[in-house]
């Protein structure tokens, strides 16, 4: 049976519009970093609508997947190449007893973003960007998040942390939904240390999350409580200076609202870090704050090529919860810290991607440029 049927890839192709994902290019060369060449591989567009096991020998080819061209980064508030190493520490003051108060201004806005060349998505955002800003604080500080809803629907901010019921940011509980035009200040103490997240928790939850209302929330461990191992994770300490830190949010987009994703990525743009590999210094260690917020699919995963890493589940321990692994999986809202280095490697490109192969082929494919 070879009857054509409309599958997710075909929909993606249709949704791509005017040739952005142009052309079957099975024989095209490997997509070079930074290439804007129209000859670049477009496996997405070349994929047959009907799936049989032998079709890859005729239509799909064997070239790495990518999109053609680049998104209009001026439409993003933050370029993913900048976002990946940007941490928002907000503004600080001190209370009379010396406790640091750390505050952020966060607004919910409707913004159209471009998630693959020519593919727009009508997002709901925190501060105009998807993911929202990576909020970072030190353990024990008093946090105040001044939230204003300037969007078109009720929203909240629900933090994965420890706080009161009133500040939980959930429809129908405590302060509950923040209606359009309303404000609310979420306030709680930063604990436990780790790699966390925040997201809108207004019903229907899957739609409010998937539309783009999520971000990473990092709490640095206090070395005075947790000893020397905490120092390397605390940016105020010289022991942390050597580390190259990155934040990666595994997300995906349902561009036709059929409760299935068409585009997968890290930090919102399909194949961005294949076209713009993340430059790393092989003499310095690497730490990744990794969060999975992918809606509609039960798991996502992270696989590193030619290397192994230590993993700290939720980032809430200073001893690895997994050692010497090259792949981990995360359900939605699971997150963790990855630590590794390329000290013994020759310089070059080293891939990392979802080892759910379909996700990789639909955008969640990335690379480090090790120098």
Alpha-carbon distance 156 to 208, whole Å? 9
Among 200, 230, 270, 367, binds Cu ion (CB under 5 A): 200
| Least Å from the CB of residue 107 to Cu ion | 13
Residues near 10 by beta carbon (within 8 Å), at least 6 away in sequence: 47, 49
Between 137 and 200, name the residue whose CB sits nearer to Cu ion: 200
| Least Å from the CB of residue 68 to Cu ion | 33
| Least Å from the CB of residue 207 to Cu ion | 8
List the end-to-end C-alpha distance of the chain, in Å, as a whole number.
Answer: 50
Between 103 and 110, name the residue whose CB sits nearer to Cu ion: 110
Residues near 168 by beta carbon (within 8 Å), at least 6 away in sequence: 158, 174, 201
Site residues (CB under 5 A) for Cu ion, limited to 37-76:
none
| Least Å from the CB of residue 212 to Cu ion | 9
Between 35 and 332, name the residue whose CB sits nearer to Cu ion: 332
Among 125, 134, 149, 202, binds Cu ion (CB under 5 A): 202
**Nearest Cα residue to 172 out of 145, 150, 204:** 204
Between 252 and 370, name the residue whose CB sits nearer to Cu ion: 252
Contact in structure between 169 and 156 (CB atoms under 8 Å): yes
| Least Å from the CB of residue 213 to Cu ion | 5
Alpha-carbon distance 274 to 209, whole Å? 26
Contact in structure between 156 and 173 (CB atoms under 8 Å): no
Burial class for 172, CB neighbours closer than 10 Å (0-12, 13-18, 19+): exposed
| Least Å from the CB of residue 292 to Cu ion | 19
Please choose, out of 75-83, 91-99, 204-212, 317-325, the segment that lies near Cu ion by the rule CB under 5 A. Answer: 204-212
Alpha-carbon distance 219 to 236, whole Å? 13
178 binds Cu ion (CB under 5 A): no
Contact in structure between 49 and 55 (CB atoms under 8 Å): no
| Least Å from the CB of residue 124 to Cu ion | 6
Among 102, 144, 199, 208, binds Cu ion (CB under 5 A): 208
**Nearest Cα residue to 131 out of 317, 254, 266:** 266
Neighbours of 101 (CB within 10 A): 15
Between 111 and 200, name the residue whose CB sits nearer to Cu ion: 200
Alpha-carbon distance 293 to 202, whole Å? 15
| Least Å from the CB of residue 108 to Cu ion | 7
Q: Applying CB under 5 A, what is the total number of residues that bind Cu ion?
A: 5
Between 202 and 341, name the residue whose CB sits nearer to Cu ion: 202
Instruction: Lay out the site mask for Cu ion across 137-166 (x = CB under 5 A, - = otherwise).
Output: ------------------x-----------
| Least Å from the CB of residue 314 to Cu ion | 24
Report the DSSP pairing between strands 309-313 and 335-340: antiparallel
Helix (H) or strand (E) holding 62: none
Between 44 and 123, name the residue whose CB sits nearer to Cu ion: 123
Between 134 and 149, name the residue whose CB sits nearer to Cu ion: 149
Contact in structure between 369 and 279 (CB atoms under 8 Å): yes
Between 200 and 360, name the residue whose CB sits nearer to Cu ion: 200
Alpha-carbon distance 340 to 338, whole Å? 7
Instruction: Lay out the site mask for Cu ion across 210-229 (x = CB under 5 A, - = otherwise).
Output: ---x----------------
Between 28 and 197, name the residue whose CB sits nearer to Cu ion: 197
| Least Å from the CB of residue 253 to Cu ion | 16
Please provide the DSSP assignment of 225-291 as one string: HH-HHHHTT-TTSGGGTT-EEEEEEEEEE-TTSSSS-SEEEETTSTTHHHHSPEEE-TTS-EEEEEE
Where along the sequence are the contacts to Cu ion (CB under 5 A)?
155, 200, 202, 208, 213
């Amino acid at each position: 049976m070879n009857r054509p049927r409309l599958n997710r890839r075909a929909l993606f192709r249709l949704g791509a519009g005017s040739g952005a994902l142009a052309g079957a290019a099975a024989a095209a060369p490997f997509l070079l970093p930074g290439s804007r060449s129209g000859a670049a591989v477009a496996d997405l567009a070349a994929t047959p609508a009907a799936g049989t096991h032998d079709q890859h020998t005729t239509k799909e080819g064997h070239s790495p997947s990518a999109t053609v061209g680049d998104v209009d980064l001026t439409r993003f508030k933050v370029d993913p190449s900048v976002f990946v190493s940007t941490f928002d520490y907000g503004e600080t003051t001190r209370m009379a007893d010396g406790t640091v108060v750390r505050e952020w201004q966060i607004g919910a806005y409707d913004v159209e973003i471009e998630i693959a060349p020519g593919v727009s998505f009508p997002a709901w955002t925190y501060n105009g960007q998807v993911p929202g800003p990576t909020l970072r604080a030190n353990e024990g500080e008093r946090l105040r998040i001044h939230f204003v809803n300037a969007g078109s629907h009720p929203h909240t901010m629900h933090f994965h942390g420890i706080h009161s019921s009133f500040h939980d940011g959930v429809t129908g509980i405590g302060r509950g939904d923040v209606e359009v035009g309303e404000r609310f200040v979420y306030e709680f103490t930063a604990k436990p240390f780790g790699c966390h997240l925040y997201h809108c928790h207004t019903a229907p939850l899957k739609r409010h999350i998937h539309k783009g209302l999520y971000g990473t929330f990092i709490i640095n461990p206090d070395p005075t409580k947790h000893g020397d191992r905490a120092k390397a994770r605390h940016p105020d300490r010289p022991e942390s200076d050597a580390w190259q830190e990155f934040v990666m949010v595994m997300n995906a987009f349902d561009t036709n609202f059929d409760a299935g994703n068409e585009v997968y990525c890290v930090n919102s743009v399909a194949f961005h870090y294949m076209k713009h590999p993340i430059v790393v210094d092989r003499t310095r260690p690497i730490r990744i704050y990794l969060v999975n917020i992918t809606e509609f699919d039960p798991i996502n995963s992270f696989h590193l090529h030619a290397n192994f890493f230590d993993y700290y589940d939720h980032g809430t321990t200073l001893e690895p919860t997994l050692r010497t692994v090259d792949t981990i999986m995360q359900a939605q809202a699971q997150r963790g810290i990855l630590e590794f280095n390329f000290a013994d490697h020759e310089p070059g490109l080293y891939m990392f991607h979802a080892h759910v192969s379909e996700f990789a082929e639909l955008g969640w494919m990335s690379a480090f440029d090790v120098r």
